[in-house]
Chains A and B, each alone.
Chain A
Amino acid sequence: MARMAGRRLLTAVPLLAVVTFGVFAIAAASPFDPARAYAGSAGLGAGRDVLDQLRENLGADRPFVVRWWEWLTAALGGDLGQSTSLRQPVAQVIGERIGWSVLLCGVAFLLAVCTGTALGVLAARRRGGLLDRTVTSLAYTLEAAPPFWLGLLAMWFFAIRLDALPAGGLTDTGADAVTAGQVASHLVLPALVLAATQLPWFVLYVRQGVGDALDEDPVRGARARGLRERTVLLRHALRSGLLPVLTLIGSRVPELITGALLVETVFSWPGIASATVQAATSVDFPLLAALTVLATAAVLLGNLLSDLLYGLADPRVGFDG
């Protein structure tokens, strides 16, 4: 198990280097001008010589390979550089925001896994029944719906029509301090929407897994022994039906990150994902690279986690990976 984790970590290093190189290359090829993005509205009145000077000061006139190498060597030495779009050190940007992103993603993921498992089991119990058909078609609809659209819909309904929940932000605008109560009420909508975008996968996987397990010999044996339906369902069918879900947990991480990107932007949630959008559109190399490393690391860790969990849950699977 430790060997597998170690091997994965070793392959992660060159992979991260390649990924950041790709980010620098793509950002350099994009039509966005870093100097103009940096200048913002003042840049609209700026003359050519001012913009050229700015480009030189920002180092934006040099080839991206040079900039990538400088960034990489500095980052390895612990200096993540300065974000040109947020005018803060990159380490500070990440430090201030990552907690809120982890909170949002964690709550949403937990919600999706729990609700998804519950709905999946209920649907699998009587396949083809009314509940099954409702849940399944709902899951397919949700899977097809884009997260930002769901977000706007939820905002319109809960915040504008019902005026029951705040429309965005981390706290009320006039609030002085960030209190747990404020954050909790502002967390509800974005977390619900993000959970809803992840929900269908868990519902469908659990439904399939539990449904298949219900047809297998051990379950039939358990039924034949006269065990209660509840015991059969939760103790026997769910346990073997959950195995594919463990794999799913790891492979959903990239989707969760993209979902968070859109949800954070829609709800002005001050997390890491909304900074990513800004970094990308203003060609903020240092921030973009650091965030890409974070996202890649999250995906790799997610995969590792699901493989480890699978190995723990099913002794037939080894850790050779």
Chain B
Amino acid sequence: MTARSIRGVAAMATAGVLAGGVAGCSAPGGGGGAGAKDSLVVGLANEPETLSPLLGYGKDGNSKIFDGLLRRDAAMKLQPALAAELPKVTDDGRTYTYKLRQGVTFSDGKPFSAKDVVFTYRTILDEKTNNAAKGELDAIDKVTAEGDDTVVFALKYPYAPFAERTVLPIAPEHAAKGQDVNTGSFNTAPIGTGPYVLTGWSKGEKLTFKANPTYWRGEPKVKKLTMAIIKDDDVRATRLRSGDLDGAILPPNLAKGFKGDKGKLTLTAKTTDFRGVTLPTAHKVTGDTAVRRALDLAVDRKAMVDKLLEGAGRAGYGPVPTDSEWFARGTERPHDLAKAKKLLDDAGWRPGGDGIREKDGERASFTLWFPAGDKLREEHALAFASDAKKAGIEAKVQSGTWEVIEPRMKDDAVLAGGGNPADPDFDLYNLLHSSLALDGFNNMAAYANPDVDKALEEGRRSGDKNARKAAYDAVQRGLADNPGYTFLTHVDHLYVMNDGWRELATQVEPHDHGLGAGPWWNVEDWQPQQ
């Protein structure tokens, strides 16, 4: 065999593979080409792990493929979706009754009914179902259908924000039943009642959707929707500039590059996406209330917003952002280094030889972890450490993966992030209630404050909005008094996109913003500009 014939064979093999691959992989779906008015291509940083609501997909709404019983509008108010109206709450907040919308069909033509709702919730709560977010439905005791058009949720305890959880997408029983919920074909070939139908999912590359012509709220004007998964910020910006994408999420420094561009629009989404430092209760330094209060005053939040976020964010004093209706007015703590120093002096923390304070032989020093590779948290950690140092407290900044950080959370501080805008209970209870201390990534500081615990329970049980507001005011004042976390900022999310649609807006976004966030949260309602 000569070198020439080897080459010939290899070339033929390559050609064969190319031809076979092309024949076998052609993607279905119609619609116009890229840039056409009825199509939209957006670039996202994160890909959903699954497309099955039974495994957690779309649990916060805007899932495109599915609808929940309820949905949220631009002002984050609940509106009926698959339910015909908002739920009736009876039995002291322990029973939620949903009347269902009639005449809705799934994209395969089969009708939607109460048994689909019951199937969805029961399957999620089944212990054999690998849904990591099922803890969010912990309040549910029983879910039952009454006839075809009514679903009743019986709760274990009165739970005021329960309706916020029912934006969870509904899966069709006829399509998803009878197969392994964790591995069955429904996970990659979903069927829903939503405005879009999945036409292709190339893992790690993109998801493609086409408009559902029989959508119960009317067929969307954007007929073809492509969500490209591009992890690298610079690559995403480049592909947006080259016209490959119509819109993308970008960090502030890259979004700035599009400012002078006439055809492009920058949208800033307000969020409850906080960054803060956990102050472990078990640690001698971070568990000391004087140190906690001093750190809370020593950090220069405004400088962090200006320098780290380039202005795209707000100073944060707790999980509830300052512009939320739930924020407790008067709990802002302005930057005051002199007062911080005085607090420490009074509590007996005296400056040692190297500028770091000491008390009873204990150096005011602790370790602060941030997850490796997260640039924004790294910058926050370094800024926090530099501010703390000015007050005489040393934070030794280290990076590691979550597997490295988790076992150390009891004694070491972590640069944490999170935030869910739907209800104050979701963040405050998980971060501050003592029963959840070091339970997974809930209450990472092991915060324990009996007054706060009591107010948190009051807030989740009371059905009266004013009583809830008073309870969460008490929680935030308790947190200001004993700041077991040093909250730093709330981070805005920036989106750059082609102009050409009317009245684009963003919702208040959570920390974890996947394909349901961004200006395209309601792409099904978009109308082209004339």
Complex interface: chain B residues within 8 A of A31 (CB): 401, 403-404
- Are B442 and A45 within 8 A (Cβ)? yes
- Are B26 and A178 within 8 A (Cβ)? yes
- Are B204 and A42 within 8 A (Cβ)? no
- Are A41 and B512 within 8 A (Cβ)? yes
Complex interface: chain A residues within 8 A of B43 (CB): 173
Which residues between 4 and 63 of chain A lie within 8 Å of chain B, taking CB atoms?
A: 31-33, 36, 38-51, 53-54, 57-58
Q: Name which residue of chain A comes closest to B402, CB basis.
A: A36
Interface 9-residue window, one of B78-86, B99-107, B236-244, B285-293: B236-244
**Contact pick for A46, options B28, B132, B206, B244, CB 8 Å:** B132
Q: How far is the CB of A188 from chain B (nearest CB, A)?
A: 13
- Are A167 and B21 within 8 A (Cβ)? no
Complex interface: chain A residues within 8 A of B130 (CB): 38, 54, 57-58
Q: Name which residue of chain B comes closest to A179, CB basis.
A: B22
Q: Given contacts A45-B430, A86-B203, A168-B235, are A100 and B230 in contact (CB under 8 A)?
A: no
- Are A174 and B244 within 8 A (Cβ)? yes
User: Is B187 at the interface (CB under 8 A from chain A)?
Assistant: yes
- Are B245 and A163 within 8 A (Cβ)? no
User: Is A2 at the interface (CB under 8 A from chain B)?
Assistant: no
Interface 9-residue window, one of B8-16, B169-177, B295-303, B518-526: B8-16
Complex interface: chain B residues within 8 A of A41 (CB): 46, 49, 512, 514
Q: How far is the CB of A243 from chain B (nearest CB, A)?
A: 11
- Are A170 and B132 within 8 A (Cβ)? no
Q: Name which residue of chain B comes closest to A181, CB basis.
A: B22
Q: Given contacts A36-B402, A268-B205, are A117 and B22 in contact (CB under 8 A)?
A: no
Interface 9-residue window, one of A102-110, A130-138, A289-297: A102-110
**Contact pick for A42, options B6, B133, B228, B244, CB 8 Å:** B133
Q: How far is the CB of A24 from chain B (nearest CB, A)?
A: 18
Q: How long is the Cα–Cα vector from A177 to B22 in the complex, in angstroms?
A: 9
Complex interface: chain A residues within 8 A of B1 (CB): 309, 312-313
Q: How far is the CB of B96 from chain A (nearest CB, A)?
A: 22
Which residues between 69 and 128 of chain B lie within 8 Å of chain A, taking CB atoms?
A: 127-128
Q: How far is the CB of A222 from chain B (nearest CB, A)?
A: 19
Contact with B along A301-315 (1 / 0, CB 8 A): 000000001001100
Q: How far is the CB of B132 from chain A (nearest CB, A)?
A: 3
- Are B50 and A183 within 8 A (Cβ)? no
Q: Given contacts A45-B440, A178-B27, are A163 and B242 in contact (CB under 8 A)?
A: yes
- Are A268 and B440 within 8 A (Cβ)? no
Complex interface: chain A residues within 8 A of B135 (CB): 45-47, 49-50
Q: How far is the CB of B456 from chain A (nearest CB, A)?
A: 16
- Are B34 and A46 within 8 A (Cβ)? no
Q: How far is the CB of A49 from chain B (nearest CB, A)?
A: 8
- Are A87 and B132 within 8 A (Cβ)? no
Q: How long is the Cα–Cα vector from A103 to B49 in the complex, in angstroms?
A: 27
User: Is B450 at the interface (CB under 8 A from chain A)?
Assistant: no
- Are A47 and B440 within 8 A (Cβ)? yes
Complex interface: chain A residues within 8 A of B402 (CB): 36
Q: Name which residue of chain B comes closest to A53, CB basis.
A: B127
Q: How far is the CB of B45 from chain A (nearest CB, A)?
A: 11
Q: How many residues of A contact B (CB 8 A)?
A: 66
Q: How far is the CB of B377 from chain A (nearest CB, A)?
A: 13
Q: How far is the CB of A296 from chain B (nearest CB, A)?
A: 21
User: Is A160 at the interface (CB under 8 A from chain B)?
Assistant: yes
Q: Name which residue of chain A comes closest to B400, CB basis.
A: A31
User: Is A278 at the interface (CB under 8 A from chain B)?
Assistant: yes
Q: Name which residue of chain B comes closest to A114, CB basis.
A: B7
- Are A242 and B3 within 8 A (Cβ)? yes
- Are A268 and B3 within 8 A (Cβ)? no
- Are A110 and B133 within 8 A (Cβ)? no
Complex interface: chain B residues within 8 A of A58 (CB): 130
- Which of A33, A58, A177 has its CB near the most chain B CB atoms (within 10 A)? A177
**Contact pick for A176, options B30, B131, B202, B230, CB 8 Å:** B30
Q: How long is the Cα–Cα vector from A36 to B244 in the complex, in angstroms?
A: 34
**Contact pick for B183, options A82, A176, A183, A274, CB 8 Å:** A82
User: Is A73 at the interface (CB under 8 A from chain B)?
Assistant: no
Contact with B along A89-122 (1 / 0, CB 8 A): 1000000100110110011011001100100000
**Contact pick for B34, options A99, A163, A174, A309, CB 8 Å:** A174
User: Is A172 at the interface (CB under 8 A from chain B)?
Assistant: yes
- Are B430 and A110 within 8 A (Cβ)? no
Complex interface: chain A residues within 8 A of B228 (CB): 169, 173
State the main secondary structure of chain A at its contact with B: helix
Which residues between 6 and 55 of chain B lie within 8 Å of chain A, taking CB atoms?
A: 6-7, 10-11, 13-14, 17-22, 24-31, 33-35, 39, 41, 43, 46, 49-50, 55
Q: How far is the CB of B31 from chain A (nearest CB, A)?
A: 7
Q: How long is the Cα–Cα vector from A309 to B2 in the complex, in angstroms?
A: 9
User: Is B221 at the interface (CB under 8 A from chain A)?
Assistant: no
User: Is A159 at the interface (CB under 8 A from chain B)?
Assistant: yes
**Contact pick for B25, options A36, A178, A312, CB 8 Å:** A178
Q: Name which residue of chain B comes closest to A30, CB basis.
A: B403
Complex interface: chain B residues within 8 A of A274 (CB): 204
Q: How far is the CB of A190 from chain B (nearest CB, A)?
A: 13
Which residues between 138 and 185 of chain A lie within 8 Å of chain B, taking CB atoms?
A: 155, 159-160, 163, 166-170, 172-180, 183
Complex interface: chain A residues within 8 A of B390 (CB): none
Q: Name which residue of chain A comes closest to B180, CB basis.
A: A82
Q: How long is the Cα–Cα vector from A156 to B232 in the complex, in angstroms?
A: 13
- Are A175 and B133 within 8 A (Cβ)? no
Q: Given contacts A45-B430, A48-B440, are A110 and B14 in contact (CB under 8 A)?
A: yes
Q: How far is the CB of A106 from chain B (nearest CB, A)?
A: 5
**Contact pick for A57, options B33, B41, B128, CB 8 Å:** B128
Complex interface: chain A residues within 8 A of B136 (CB): 45
- Are B133 and A46 within 8 A (Cβ)? yes
Q: How long is the Cα–Cα vector from A176 to B442 in the complex, in angstroms?
A: 43
Q: Name which residue of chain B comes closest to A308, CB basis.
A: B1
User: Is A88 at the interface (CB under 8 A from chain B)?
Assistant: yes
Q: How far is the CB of A235 from chain B (nearest CB, A)?
A: 11
User: Is A254 at the interface (CB under 8 A from chain B)?
Assistant: no
- Are B10 and A106 within 8 A (Cβ)? yes
- Are A176 and B49 within 8 A (Cβ)? no
Complex interface: chain A residues within 8 A of B382 (CB): none
Q: How far is the CB of B108 from chain A (nearest CB, A)?
A: 21
- Are B46 and A45 within 8 A (Cβ)? no
User: Is B56 at the interface (CB under 8 A from chain A)?
Assistant: yes
**Contact pick for A167, options B18, B132, B238, B441, CB 8 Å:** B238
4 cross-chain pairs, A with B, having the tightest CB-CB distances, nearest first: A174-B34, A39-B132, A42-B132, A42-B133
| Interface pairs (21), CB distance under 8 Å | A31-B401, A31-B404, A36-B402, A43-B132, A43-B440, A45-B136, A46-B441, A48-B440, A54-B130, A57-B127, A58-B130, A82-B182, A87-B55, A99-B25, A103-B21, A107-B14, A167-B235, A173-B228, A176-B29, A183-B18, A312-B1
Question: A36-B402, A99-B25 known; 4 other A-B pairs, CB under 8 Å?
Answer: A43-B441, A48-B439, A173-B206, A177-B27
Which B positions have Cβ atoms within 8 angstroms of A?
1, 3, 6-7, 10-11, 13-14, 17-22, 24-31, 33-35, 39, 41, 43, 46, 49-50, 55-56, 59, 127-128, 130-136, 182-183, 187-188, 202-206, 208, 226, 228, 230, 235, 238-239, 242, 244-245, 401-404, 418, 430, 436, 439-442, 512, 514
Which A positions have Cβ atoms within 8 angstroms of B?
31-33, 36, 38-51, 53-54, 57-58, 82, 86-89, 96, 99-100, 102-103, 106-107, 109-110, 113-114, 117, 155, 159-160, 163, 166-170, 172-180, 183, 242, 268, 270, 274, 278, 309, 312-313
